[in-house]
Structure 1
């Protein structure tokens, strides 16, 4: 008798074939597809009667720049989706890597799941991943004048500019960051007699 995870893994292998790499770990199934096969694979995941992943639960960006303490040698940016089949009561994670680290582009899945709209906008805003074919790919969490993508591993911790209200101009202004980088040493380490009576 096969378990539910084994049945899902088999159904995924039969439906996706060579287009995907399927792995099972910690009770979860992950499907990795190439950007060229992404749209067709996602359409299959939704429409194949043996799968019927009719709901996109989440889609997020991931930056693998320093993954595994720098031992990662694969592509840098990925879009990761979590799908739910209400009919079969199972879930799957789908990962697609953008083939170009300098200009990360993957196809949009808004034509398959309308819920992907704001998720893809968030991944664009925070990671700079472009979703080809998205009808309204603009920033959703940062300000329109924001420079860069703040969830990238190489984004400076303090940012590039600071925003503040200027009472003389009576508006919000941007100016270069004036925070001096410093290293905080905990009081426990600085004071020799800390905690001793």
Structure 2
């Protein structure tokens, strides 16, 4: 076990206030659990209330990830009910394999995953990007088979590149993770 907390790389820090709230809450639970991944039932919506319309929880059922909870804004972006649907039915064939892989890595490694890229279902895809954060989460019985996450819409600036950015932070459960430092400009 490490004496010093592992620091999350600065590039990995969320840009959007909602995704930062979600990460801060998850990290607080991780630390309060003696550096163990939190259970789904420990998530307190009051701690990330400003991001509620953008959060989601998926459960891995052994074959696919099934959407168990979805925020209103995310739901509206897709235009149909995501709840209790497998990821394979929600996403298009072209993106499903990579998104499934990101979710699986999140619970298998375990790892925190952040991505900035085009929204899958947004009608104005050439302008809107999403900042996605995936966090490994346990079931009530302690099985590491849930992904708690957030997708926040980010308006692309004219001078900002629109290419996807992916960040993966693998960690060893039981080792401390440092508080995420503030993002300059906050």
Question: Considering the TM-score relative to the shorter chain, is it more than 0.5?
Answer: no
TM-score, normalization by structure 1: 0.26
Calculate the TM-score normalised by the size of structure 2: 0.27
Q: RCO greater where, 1 or 2, for CA within 8 Å and sep 6 or more?
A: 2
Which has the greater radius of gyration?
Answer: 1
More helix by share: 2
